[in-house]
């Protein structure tokens, strides 16, 4: 029925099967939309946020998807600025995943601000002393850049490409993509960093507070670094999942291995910096504020020292070692393990930097404050996942996302 829209030389599942798949994801999406409408019409009393948790599940999800979406800017940087030509075979997918991540982040923010009609206030009545203002500026601009990077892909659809104007527009956008990629890398560096800077400047919260250079705490650089390191792992992981679902090889192994190797070295250097930062914080910064390391990891039902070990050793050191070694990259099981751990790593990091910061008591009469998200918060956090599945499915079906697909699957 829709065969005229499917790229030439590739095989796709029957329309009924595709419709069923989209229907299943659509049901989850509708559940999220319902929860979203409840939050908009009834207000933020639908959430379990309170005076202790002004930042909650949504902000964690926001920071996590932004970190994982970092694969788009870093792969774009490697492809267009550094000149790693092999990455042209995965850059489309990295852009698509980045587009989904950033549009999801903006959607979550639109729910989180409670009154989305006033969302433009942050641009017009900007608080120029807030790192979050800079985040909002860069996030929005970078979403614009990702849209510009995604549009040429849409224009390459078989039917759209037949329109002379769209064909030329797509070509022109490809021609100057390096300019957009460089702008994207610049914007990403600052907003990824400022998200880390937010917890780093909280001098009233010794769990998050860090020293740094000029106005930038060390967390500023660590957040950017971790996004650039782990974002490409998310891109590879989603590629592997897509290959599993479609039953096809979509990207050549040398491309995967190159990106995995670069990511491995980035994770390795990041985790060394993170260990130094943690050690200095535990030995100098926190004691100066009157705290010992174990004060942050005891006397509460959830946040034990395990979370620090999970973040740094299991989801940092282990994937770095696997991805740096050639044997690790070539072993499918080891590669998959490393990718999953490398994706969990920044998610745990963002969780502790957003939620453990809030949970930790800072005054002698304070207690640990635990937080459990409401179903509306959970549903609206799952909403972007369903949206992502739908957009990836539509893009895979109708757009030439993987340039090597035809070559790798000649029987189609």
Contact residues: another protein, CB under 8 A: 88, 123-126, 128-129, 133-134, 137-138, 141, 144-145, 148, 152, 164-176, 179-180, 183, 186-187, 190, 403
Q: How far is the CB of 337 from another protein (least distance, A)?
A: 33
Report the C-alpha gap between 167 and 117 in whole angstroms. Answer: 36
| Closest distance of CB 124 from another protein, Å | 6
Nearest approach in angstroms of CB 323 to another protein is 28
Given the complex with another protein, which of 171 and 244 has the nearer CB atom?
171
Nearest approach in angstroms of CB 164 to another protein is 5
For another protein, give the closer residue by CB, 8 or 129.
129
Please identify, using beta-carbon distances, which residue of 128 and 363 lies nearer to another protein. Answer: 128
**C-beta closer to another protein: residue 183 or 285:** 183
Residue 170 and residue 156 in contact, taking contact as beta carbons nearer than 8 Å:
yes
Specify the residue, 23 or 164, whose C-beta has the smaller distance to another protein. 164
Taking the complex as a whole, how short is the minimal distance between the CB of residue 145 and another protein, in angstroms? 6
- Least Cβ distance, residue 182 to another protein (angstroms): 9
- Residue closer to another protein by CB (options 126, 370) is 126
Q: Which is nearer to another protein, 337 or 404 (CB)?
A: 404
Backbone angles phi, psi at 212, to 5 degrees: 180, -155
């Amino acid at each position: 029925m829709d065969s005229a829209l499917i790229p030439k030389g590739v095989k796709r599942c029957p329309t009924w099967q595709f419709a069923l798949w989209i229907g299943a994801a659509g049901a989850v999406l509708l559940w999220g939309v319902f929860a979203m409408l409840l939050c908009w019409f009834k207000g933020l009393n639908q959430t379990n946020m309170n005076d202790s948790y002004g930042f909650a599940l949504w902000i964690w999800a926001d920071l996590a998807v932004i970190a994982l979406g970092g694969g788009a800017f870093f792969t774009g940087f490697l492809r267009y600025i550094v000149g790693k030509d092999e990455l042209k075979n995965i850059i489309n997918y990295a852009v698509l995943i980045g587009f989904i991540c950033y549009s999801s982040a903006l959607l979550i923010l639109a729910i989180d601000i409670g009154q989305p009609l006033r969302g433009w206030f942050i641009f017009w009545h900007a608080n120029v002393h807030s790192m979050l203002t800079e985040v909002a500026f860069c996030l929005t601009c970078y979403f614009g850049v990702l849209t510009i990077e995604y549009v040429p892909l849409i224009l390459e659809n078989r039917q759209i490409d037949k329109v002379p104007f769209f064909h030329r527009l797509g070509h022109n956008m490809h021609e100057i993509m390096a300019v957009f990629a460089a702008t994207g890398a610049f914007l990403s560096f600052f907003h990824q960093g400022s998200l880390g800077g937010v917890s780093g400047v909280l001098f009233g919260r010794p769990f998050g507070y860090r020293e740094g250079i000029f106005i930038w705490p060390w967390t500023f650089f660590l957040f950017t670094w971790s996004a650039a390191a782990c974002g490409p792992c998310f891109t590879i992981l989603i590629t592997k999942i897509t290959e599993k679902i479609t039953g096809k090889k979509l990207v050549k192994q040398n491309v995967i291995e190159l990106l995995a190797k670069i990511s491995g070295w980035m994770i390795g250097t990041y985790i060394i910096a993170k260990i130094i930062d943690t050690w200095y914080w535990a030995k100098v910064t926190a004691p100066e504020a009157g705290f010992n390391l174990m004060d942050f990891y005891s006397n509460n039902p959830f946040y034990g020292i395990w979370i620090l070990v999970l973040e740094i050793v299991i989801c940092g050191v282990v994937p770095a070692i696997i991805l740096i070694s050639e044997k690790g990259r070539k072993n499918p099981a080891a590669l998959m393990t490393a990718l999953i751990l490398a994706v969990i790593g920044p998610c745990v990091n963002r969780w502790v930097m957003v939620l453990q910061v809030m949970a930790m008591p800072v005054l002698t009469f304070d207690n640990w404050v635990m937080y459990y998200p409401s179903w509306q918060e959970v549903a609206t956090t799952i909403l972007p996942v369903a949206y992502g599945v739908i957009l990836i499915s539509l893009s895979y079906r109708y757009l030439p996302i993987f340039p090597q697909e035809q070559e790798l699957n000649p029987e189609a």
